[in-house]
Amino acid sequence: MNQNTVMIETELGDWRRTHYSDRLSPQMADSDVTVMGWVLSVRGHGNISFMMLKDKEGEIQVLAKAGSCPDEVREKISRLKAHSSVGIKGTVKPSEKAPRGIEIIPKEIRVFSEVEKIPPFEPYAKTVKNIDTRLEVRPIDLKRKSLQHIFKARSKILQAIRNYFYENGFLEINTPKMIATATEGGAALFPIFYYNKEAFLAQSPQLYKEQLTMSFEKVFEIAPIFRAEPSRTNRHLAEAISIDVEEAYVDYNDIMKRIEDLIKISIKTVNDYFKENTDSEFITVNMPDKIPQYTYSELVDKMQKVGAKTEWGDDLYPSNLKKIGLSGFYFIKDWPIGPKPFYVKMSKSDPKISESFDLMFGDLELSSGSTRVEKRAELEERMKNKGLKIDAFEYHLRAFDYGMPPHAGCGIGLERLIMSLTGTENIRDATFYPRDVDRLTP
């Protein structure tokens, strides 16, 4: 090694970024800055190299030219492969030719991670067909612009939803995810070993959020739910995020109003994001003044009129919903009581019907909710009819001996909400690391 050769450091050490790329401006000419990020491209030849550096806020050009930066730094930059992670200390210079009218003349470089491998797909490509190839290296996939926009919009929507709950007097709760009994009749369970007992991953926070209305009246939780879904579809996950709401002294009509509020603020949030980020290719979602409500029976009639094969009591299948031309957001309410879980309240006017609803977007179910049973005897009766062991639920039923208020609530699937608001077709792209029948990694 030549005595004058400078070792290129590979550790972060005491270096800290002074500016994100978007904060650099021609007004900062001659300032010394430290930037960090990933190499987007390196081009040039002989005595001059242009490097584009990317961080979470944008991109900046680094110009390494013989005579204006140390030779070792220039040589190192000229050999860097795209995606390597680096830090640069240098001086800001105005430049008419640089993409943003400025560039950095480097004085020192630290190469934290040098990339030798070519990723299995171009990380900044607009589309990559095979989702499995993408998921294998998900952190690289998530650098792609379309996914960046989905997840940034998702984060803003979550923030707006949380704000709504806080502003309206709801308490944020967390309930156990390892539980002793099933809550959602139809959905399959993941059994787990809990010390020497069998337990399950929670299908929903249902029973706990109901109990907490006794202590806090208005509660919400945003957390994972686990469903051993055997289905390989673009709308089912084994682990999804549910926005759960539960409120005392209200019924399902009041909860539909809450949902209407939440949908309105979510649409506003996503449309604002879209306006600020003109390079995103989101659909613009229109919000009707009121979300239309149809009763289950009304829709069965409509389906039968257009010749769809369906009987009163059947589920309302997506193919049949399409046949009657329903689109956008709408509620289907007053479902048959039969298939509904034990905690859903029967209608006072018709014992065949429940005080329940689903929120739909086209043929996609985004949420279900209901008025709940608040009398212990009625709850036990419903459980017996469903063949459930009452003793196993004693820990829950006990709460009903001490003044359970009338209450109602709902669960909204976050990934499905994001799909509807951003036009994302595969639910796997509305979550960071999807879990499904075939996938437990990465």
Distance CA 251, CA 283 (A): 33
Contacts of 87 (CB under 8 A, 6+ apart): 12, 15, 17, 34, 35, 36, 109, 110, 112
Element (H, E) at 395: helix 394-397
Known binding residue 223? Answer is: no
Q: Between residues 21 and 370, which has the closer beta carbon with respect to ligand AMO?
A: 370
Minimum Å distance from CB 208 to ligand AMO?
11
Residue whose CB is less far from ligand AMO, 229 or 355:
229
206 near ligand AMO (CB under 6 A):
yes
Maximum CA extent, the chain:
93
Among the listed residues 172, 259, 183, 256, the one whose alpha carbon sits nearest the alpha carbon of residue 222 = 172
Evaluate whether 437 touches 405 at the Cβ level (below 8 Å): no
- Flag whether 414 is marked binding: yes
The DSSP line for 264-284 is: HHHHHHHHHHHHH-TT--PPP
Which residues lie closer than 8 Å to 248 by C-beta, 6 or more apart? 213, 214, 217, 218, 405, 406, 407
Which of positions 173-192 make contact with ligand AMO (CB under 6 A)? 184, 187
Mapped onto helix, strand or coil, the DSSP state of residue 332 is: strand
What is the total count of residues that contact ligand AMO (CB under 6 A)?
Answer: 23
Q: Which is nearer to ligand AMO, 226 or 282 (CB)?
A: 226
367 counts as binding ligand AMO under rule CB under 6 A: yes
CA distance 169 to 165: 6
Which residues is 34 bridged to in the sheet? 89
Asked if 410 touches ligand AMO (CB under 6 A), the answer is yes
Q: Does 371 bind ligand AMO (CB under 6 A)?
A: no
**Binders in 413-442 for ligand AMO, by CB under 6 A:** 413, 415-416
Among 365, 378, 380, 381, binds ligand AMO (CB under 6 A): 365
- The single residue listed with the structure tokens 């994100």 is 20
Based on the shown chain and the rule CB under 6 A, indicate whether residue 363 belongs to the binding site for ligand AMO.
no
415 annotated as a binding-site residue:
yes
Q: Does 368 bind ligand AMO (CB under 6 A)?
A: yes
291-299, 302-310, 376-384, 411-419 -> range binding ligand AMO (CB under 6 A): 411-419
Closest among 120, 162, 158, 125 to 143, alpha carbons compared: 125
3-class secondary structure, 226:
strand
Interface with ligand AMO, residue 354, by CB under 6 A: no
Nearer to ligand AMO, 154 or 227 (CB): 227
Could you say which of 38, 411, 418, 424 contacts ligand AMO (CB under 6 A)? Answer: 411
Displacement of CA 347 from its chain's centroid (Å): 34
DSSP summary character for residue 428: G
248 belongs to an annotated ligand binding site: no
Touching ligand AMO, residues 210-249 (CB under 6 A):
227, 229, 236-237, 240, 242, 244
From the annotation, which residues make up the binding site for Mg(2+)?
365, 368
Give contact residues for ligand AMO (rule: CB under 6 A): 184, 187, 204, 206, 227, 229, 236-237, 240, 242, 244, 365-370, 409-411, 413, 415-416
From the annotation, which residues make up the binding site?
184, 227-229, 235-237, 365, 368, 372, 413-416
